[in-house]
Each structure stands twice: as C-alpha cells, then as structure tokens.
Amino acid sequence: MNKTTASRLALTLVLSFGAGAALADENADLVVNEEIEMTVRAPAPAYLDGHLPEILSGWLFRSDETQDLQRDDFDNPGMIFVDQALDQWAMVDGSEGKSCASCHDDPADSMAGVRAVYPKWNADAGEVRTLAMQINDCRETQMGAKKWGYTSGDMTAMEALISVQSRGMPVNVAIDGPVAATWEQGKEMYYTRYGQLELSCANCHEDNYGNHIRADHLSQGQINGFPVYRLKNTKLNAAHDRFKGCVRDTRAETFDPGSPEFVALELYVASRGNGLSVEAPSVRN
Amino acid sequence: MADNVKPRVKAPKSASAGEVVTIKTLISHQMESGQRKDKDGNKIPRSIINRFTAEYNGQMVIDVTMEPAISTNPYFEFDATIPEAGEFKFTWYDDDGSVYEDSKAVSVA
Amino acid sequence: MDFTRRDTLALGLGAAAMTVLPFRVNAAATDDLIAEFTGGAEMGAGGLTLTAPEIAENGNTVPISVDAEGATAIMVLATGNPTPPVATFNFGELAGSQSASTRIRLAGTQELIAIARMSDGSFQRDSKTVKVTIGGCGG
C-alpha cells in the first residue's frame, strides 16, 4: 500500500465514521434581527471552474440550535466582543493621542462596506493587506500605538466590530490586477496536499462538504463569517487560526497566522465566497 | 473583579399594565469551572458567577443559583409580569465577591 | 451512492463504536441532590417540561429550557458531569411564567434531569438524554 492510498483510506474511514451525527437544516434561510437578510447560498464564481455547483455559507452546515444563535444579536455571544470593541474604538492609545474614532468617527458610517473587500491591495505599501494588517498599520503609523497580536482578542473583536458594519453585504474581494499573483499563490496552496495525511483544503471542503469527518459536518470552508464565535472555545476566532487548525489536523507543520502564505490563502478563500453575505461575527461549533 | 465583565440586558421599554414580557440577559464572564488544568497540570481554581437575580420595583422575578455547569458568558431568558411603570434591577454575584448590576426602566402606556 | 468494500467496513466500525460510546453517570451524587431537594417525596410527571437538543454540536454550550406552570423552583442536574448541579431557578411573585432558558456545559453524552417544586408542595420530574458529539475538526 503506498502512502497516498493509505491517506485516502484514512480519509474514507474518518469521513464515514460519524454519519449519524447532527444533521443541519440545509434549506434554512438566515435573517438576523428580523432585519438583515443574509445570502447563505449563491452562484459559484466563474473562476471556481465548476468545482462547486453553488457556494454555501458554513451556517447551513450547523445544527438547528447553533443556527438559531446567529438569528438575533442578543442570542449571539460574539456580539459581546463587538460591544467591547466599540469601547476600544473610542479609547485613546499610543503616542499620538488618538483613538480609532479620532479619524474614523462613527464606525457605522466609516466602516460600512470595508470588510466586504478585504483582503485588498494597498498601493502605498505595495502589498496585499488583510483587515488585521490594516488595523495594525493604523495603530502603529497613525496612533503610535503597539501592534496587537494578529489573532489576539483585541484584534478579533475589532475585526468583528468593523465586519458588523458590512453585514448582509456581499463579499466582493478583487482577484485581478496587482493582487493576481497573490491570489494564484493562494489557489496553489488550496489544492496542495499538506501533512502526513496528505490533505489539501479541497479534499475536505470541495470534494467532501456535506459529509462527516468523524462527528464534524464538513462545510465548504467559507470565511464570510469570520471572525467566528466558536462554541468550542467560547471566543472569537480569526480565519488564520482556523487555517492553522486545519493544516495542523493534516499533521503538518503549519504556517503562522499573519504569514505571507496565510495572507495569500485568505485572499483566495475569501474570493471563493464572493457573493455570500458578510456574516461576522458568525456562530459555529 | 474578573476582566471585561459586561452585562447586557434586552427588555422592552414600554408595556401595558399586567403584560407578561420576555427578558434576555447575557454577561461576559469566563465561568472558570474548577475542573480545568493549566499548562503545568495545576488545577485552575473555580471562579464563576454563582447567583443571578432579577427584581422589578423591589419584587422578585427570578433568583437563579448558578453552578460551574453554566456556560461561559451566562445567558438567561425568562418572563416577567409588569404591574405598573417602574424599573428592573438585575444583579450578578461573582465568587470573588464582585457584584455586577444593570437596570432597565419600563413605562406603562 | 456506491458503497465500496472499504466504505462498508468503515460504516460497520462506526456502528460498533456507537454502541460503546461512554454514557456518563454520577449516580450517587445525583440521588443525594434529588433527595435533598425533594426530601424524598414522590415525583409526578407531565407538569414539567425539560427541553434540550437530542444531539449537541458542542458540549460547551448546550441550550436548555424548563417550564412548569405553578412551580416555585426548578432544579436542573447533569447526571454525567463531574459535579451534577447545573442551576436552580426560583420564581418570584412577578415571574411572568415558571419557565427559563439558559446554556449549559455537558461533559459528554448523558441524561439531564429537571425537578420542579410546585406551589402545593408536590414535585414533578422530567429528563432528557443529550448526545454530545466529540471529534472531527470541531471537537
């Protein structure tokens, strides 16, 4: 038995294992606060080359109880952190005596639509920037404040606050022009098998979404809901931490959150969800 | 006091006399169970909110004894009768002696 | 769906594993707590409803609710937790109903028990088994 066969057998075994676990209502629709209509299924972008018949929010793959937690902001524990970030928004930090509000006033106005287009090209810096990179650039360059850890509580809460201002808007990241090379790098990673289990992102999230990996109902791995409040660790989780967890689960040495590799992967994975609504903070298991 | 403890309450701003209204409360709190161990294998001591009460104009609505099995960021949903205009008072009692409070006024049309 | 020999084998293994899943129970502690709450009185059924998911996606946050019209207090026990007490809801004079919802931690698949003390001094009991899924990338 060669190694590839062994890993396929391993995947077959784990995929078959939890077939009796909780099944989600995949026909459900998501309306938040009886007001914001979320697009949880959308036509697959052309550049997916027909690999997915349609794109589906991870919300569709969760149990009824978990789905309900996202229907009302009061029931959504992720909103606790949005509240905390709103306090932070007005708090002066760093040598320049500024807060976020000093430049950006009310986030409801200044941040509307921002999450939907990140990661995006920053012409001045000549780099692809994630939202976390941009927040830290603001802190260092504009506020004279210390950078936050890339996936720290302060950072994920601020990302959630900014994301909330774009809820219901379609994810719409650019994939061409100056970001094209980074996008190609991310796509290459998506289809590369990593780790002792020799699994690519696509093996689980393109070839096997809807199936179970032990007790877990595999989604398409969309990141339109990040940062996400997980029932498992009862806090907001950054997309790069989820990437790290996935790569680790293939039994590989992972890339670091904030690394150029994960920035490229975030751009590519975000683009796979172009058309789904910004959902953050979403609730997952 | 535990870090970043922030109560949130959802209650209607107005009601009719005698109306039954639904209240939701959520407070950010780790609810350290006393069952977990740190990286060195030492037990992390229990630190939870052990009691939650809701009163309206000084009369009791609900009084909950809470144990470590209540999830992080404790959530409660319950019903209250509004006899007249007044104010809800919500109180959370922490193991460490801290008390967190929130209040909501209700008008009666 | 075509079943290969391997798929069938795997399903068989899965089914075998399901039958030996640990069902946690902390019986002595549970019995003591019930005796303390009821004073050993008989418990009726039908006047108390305990609602909990049949399968919880994660044991850390399991939504439950209790409802017993005319109750003065409702105690909830997780019989398989290291310490079974979960919460006791005491209803005051301005309670709009004798019902409440919360979110709880379950250490594994187990039986939840709720007991209501009614205003006439009698007791009602209800229970639900909750399967807690562990494993996969979410676990």
The Cα of A130 is separated from the nearest Cα of chain B by a number of Å equal to 27
pLDDT of residue B50 exceeding 60, the answer is yes
* Residues in a beta bridge with B55: B60, B89
In this complex, the residue of A215, A233, A234 whose CB is nearest that of residue C136 is A215
Nearest CA in chain C to A23: C55
Q: Is A232 on the interface with B (CB under 8 A)?
A: no
**Non-local CB neighbours of A140 within 8 Å, separated by 6+ positions:** A146, A147
Q: Cβ contact (<8 Å) for A84 and B28?
A: yes
In this complex, the residue of B6, B10, B72 whose CB is nearest that of residue A83 is B6
Q: Is B33 on the interface with A (CB under 8 A)?
A: no
Determine the residue type at A19. A
Nearest CA in chain A to B23: A74
Pull the structure tokens for residue C66: 């209790």
Share of chain C above pLDDT 70, in %: 81
Mean pLDDT value of segment A77-105 = 95
Q: Is A246 marked active-site? A: yes
Given the candidates 2.60.40.10, 3.30.230.70, 3.50.30.30, 3.40.50.410, the CATH classification of the domain at B6-108 is: 2.60.40.10
The Cα of C110 is separated from the nearest Cα of chain A by a number of Å equal to 16
Separation of CA C34 from chain center = 14
Q: What is the mean pLDDT of chain B?
A: 93
pLDDT of residue A7 exceeding 70, the answer is no
pLDDT of residue C15 exceeding 90, the answer is no
Q: Which chains touch B (3 or more CB pairs under 8 A)?
A: A, C
Report pLDDT for B88: 98
The residue ranking higher by pLDDT, A187 or C13, is A187
Q: Is B26 on the interface with C (CB under 8 A)?
A: no
Q: What is the ipTM score, two decimals?
A: 0.94
Pull the structure tokens for residue A148: 């936050």
Selected for mutation to probe chain C from A211, A217, A229, A231 (highest C CB count within 10 Å) is A231
Mean pLDDT value of segment C47-54 = 96
Separation of CA B97 from chain center = 15
Domain ranges of chain C: 5-134
Q: Cβ contact (<8 Å) for C62 and B71?
A: yes
Report pLDDT for A9: 47
Nearest CA in chain C to B79: C96
Determine the residue type at B61. V
Side-chain-side CA neighbours of A246 within 13 Å: the count stands at 26
The Cα of A223 is separated from the nearest Cα of chain C by a number of Å equal to 15
pLDDT per residue as tens digits for the range B88-101: 999 999 999 999 99
pLDDT of residue A141 exceeding 90, the answer is yes
pLDDT per residue as tens digits for the range C16-31: 444 455 677 788 889 9
Q: Are B98 and B6 in contact (CB under 8 A)?
A: no
The model's pTM: 0.87
- Residue C7 pLDDT class (50, 70, 90 cuts): low
pLDDT of residue C6 exceeding 70, the answer is no
Selected for mutation to probe chain C from B23, B33, B43, B64 (highest C CB count within 10 Å) is B64
Pull the structure tokens for residue A252: 């590989």
Q: Write phi, then psi, for A80 (nearest 5 degrees).
A: -55, -45
In this complex, the residue of B8, B10, B73 whose CB is nearest that of residue A234 is B73
Name chain C contacts of A77, Cβ cutoff 8 Å.
Answer: 61
Given this structure, which CATH class describes domain C5-134? mainly beta
Domain ranges of chain B: 6-108
Cis previous bond, A227, omega within 30 = yes
Q: Write phi, then psi, for A81 (nearest 5 degrees).
A: -75, -30
Q: Is C63 helix (H, G, I), strand (E, B) or coil?
A: strand
In this complex, the residue of A62, A68, A216 whose CB is nearest that of residue C139 is A216
The Cα of C128 is separated from the nearest Cα of chain B by a number of Å equal to 16
Q: Cβ contact (<8 Å) for C58 and A232?
A: yes
- Residue A17 pLDDT class (50, 70, 90 cuts): very low
pLDDT per residue as tens digits for the range A31-68: 999 999 999 999 999 999 999 999 999 999 999 999 99
Q: Which chains touch A (3 or more CB pairs under 8 A)?
A: B, C
Side-chain-side CA neighbours of A168 within 13 Å: the count stands at 11
Element (H, E) at B4: none
